[in-house]
Structure 1
Amino acid sequence: MSSMPDPFPAPRPTLPTCFLARHLAWPLAAAVVASVLLMRAGGDRWLADALFGLEGGQWVLREHWLTSAVIHRGGKWLSLLAGLVVLALNLAALRRPRWAPLRRPLLYLLLASALGSASVSLLKAATDVACPWDLARYGGARDDAGASALAAARVPRLACYPAGHASAGYAWVSLYFAALLWRPRWRWRGLAIGLAAGALFGAGQQLRGAHFLSHDVAALAVCWVVSLGLYCLFVRVRPGRLTPQVQA
């Protein structure tokens, strides 16, 4: 009896020994340093104070058509539409033999983009961190300590960390790893798309008073780690058995 053919017959890249250092250790170190500077050294407050002051001591852009309708609601729909397009491409690739090399990268992209946003949503539900507009410092009703610490049980729980809307853009840093599975020379373009989308969505929310910059840093870190972890599963990486063929 002949064995069933592999439904995803794409060549599997192998990884250099420094791959995890470059793609996990260094980015996480950068995220930790940025988070300390923002959350502990006052970077978050400095930027939020500047934006709040420029808006006249109130979040006048909170309901502005550009930040609320276009960047916030429109960004959600754009990310959802992109996910549906990737799903449709997955289904088309399964039915077209000529698209066989795309099956593995497309499946990876579908899973990684969805899992990145979902992971941020789960973390948001588990934390109790305030948005700028919740704080008395910026016209809200909550004590300012709520920006970086868990509040007392009597205070309603908040869910502003990590940044959910920014993750709808940062989830597409998975394009970097999808390119590694298919066309490695395109990886930087894919990374630029994900970073640009996340930065745009995050900036819009900061202008509305919905997030501190550290919330966006955390969202990016989560999406990156999820994308990297799934990529490693797709190429079946085992520590100590990496071979230096893909220079990424």
Structure 2
Amino acid sequence: MTARLGAPLFRRAMLVLAMSAVLMLLLGQYTDIDLLIEDYYYDEQLQAFPWLDSWFATDLMHGYVKNVIIKSGYLLLLVVAWDFIRPWSRITSFTRSRLRFVAAASLLVPTIVRGVKQFSVLHCPWTVDRYGGTEPFLRLLDHVPEGMKVGHCFPAGHATVGLWLAALCVFWLPHNPRVAVGVFSAGLSVGLVLGWVQQMRGAHFLFHTLWAAWLASLVILVMLLFAYNILNEEKAT
């Protein structure tokens, strides 16, 4: 019998998302984890984030690695678009549907996360007064002081460069959900690593990145729900 994506899998995924959202809200609002991490990377004597212009953080991670992933996404979109116009006979229906799924995720995940940023007032560490900036540090549920400039720094947009890679899990669905979970986690990890480097540079707080990963997970899960029938088709040989 062919393995199928079913309601139990989606229910478990939604439960995990709901629980993680509550946990992040509580930890982000009632702990100083964000500040502790940025305090560690901020040099009081220099009044700066030493990693900001470093070769590793700026040239390698924020430059080379980021560009490789972005160009890989563009290449994927090009392949999918070309196959849509002139279908390649060597690509099975199984592979085609999943390539299209990942291509859609590469567009939707960054677009939605960056769209949410437009409604956010939270600032990046390097503009917060604690780290030499001029704006107050606010948590997600804090009251916004009257007259405060909006920061548009939440959630972390840079992390989405890698977060969409979590959609590659679709190649192991529905026939091997355990591997799919591993691939999904690995994809999220790429985005989380990119996000952590931004924390080292003073560009984001930890929970900015974690909420970006949460949103990416939600987007991909909703996509899976909409693609339910297609993904449950027989695996092509």
TM category (shorter chain) comes to 0.7 to 0.9
Q: Does structure 1 residue 48 correspond to structure 2 residue 38?
A: yes
Contact 1:132 1:147 in 2 (8 A): no
Corresponding residue of 2:156:
163
- Deviation, 1:230, is 0.8
Distance change in 2, residues 1:232/1:17 (3 Å): closer
Amino acid at match of 1:157: V
Once residues 25 and 170 of structure 2 are traced to their aligned partners in structure 1, the CA distance between those partners, rounded to angstroms, is 25
Distance change in 2, residues 1:144/1:43 (3 Å): same
- Deviation, 1:146, is 7.1
Corresponding residue of 1:5:
none
Residue 95 of structure 2 aligns to a residue whose secondary structure is helix
Once residues 164 and 108 of structure 2 are traced to their aligned partners in structure 1, the CA distance between those partners, rounded to angstroms, is 8
Q: Does structure 1 residue 58 correspond to structure 2 residue 45?
A: no
Q: Does structure 1 residue 82 correspond to structure 2 residue 72?
A: yes
After superposition, give the CA deviation of every residue in 1:120-173 in whole Å (9 maximum; x if it has no partner). Answer: 000001111011111111111112347764644533321110000011111211
Q: Does structure 1 residue 124 correspond to structure 2 residue 117?
A: yes
Corresponding residue of 2:7:
17
Long gaps (5+) in structure 1? 1-11, 238-242, 244-248
Distance change in 2, residues 1:157/1:197 (3 Å): same
- Deviation, 1:195, is 2.1
Contact 1:177 1:228 in 2 (8 A): no
Contact 2:162 2:187 in 1 (8 A): yes
Instruction: State the TM-score, normalized to the length of structure 1.
Output: 0.80
Once residues 32 and 85 of structure 1 are traced to their aligned partners in structure 2, the CA distance between those partners, rounded to angstroms, is 37
Amino acid at match of 2:59: A
Once residues 39 and 75 of structure 1 are traced to their aligned partners in structure 2, the CA distance between those partners, rounded to angstroms, is 32
Corresponding residue of 1:98:
90
1:134 to 127, 134, 151: 127
Corresponding residue of 1:224:
217
* Greater shift in the superposed pair: 150-159 or 209-218: 150-159
After superposition, give the CA deviation of every residue in 1:224-246 in whole Å (9 maximum; x if it has no partner). Answer: 11011011111149xxxxx9xxx
After superposition, give the CA deviation of every residue in 1:1-28 in whole Å (9 maximum; x if it has no partner). Answer: xxxxxxxxxxx96323321222122133
Once residues 177 and 141 of structure 1 are traced to their aligned partners in structure 2, the CA distance between those partners, rounded to angstroms, is 44
* Greater shift in the superposed pair: 148-157 or 133-142: 148-157
Corresponding residue of 1:32:
22
Report the aligned-residue RMSD. 2.8
- Deviation, 1:109, is 0.5
After superposition, give the CA deviation of every residue in 1:191-228 in whole Å (9 maximum; x if it has no partner). Answer: 24412311221111000011111001110011111011
Corresponding residue of 1:172:
165
Residue 98 of structure 1 aligns to a residue whose secondary structure is coil
Percent identity of paired positions between Structure 1 and Structure 2: 24
Instruction: State the TM-score, normalized to the length of structure 2.
Output: 0.83
Contact 1:129 1:148 in 2 (8 A): no
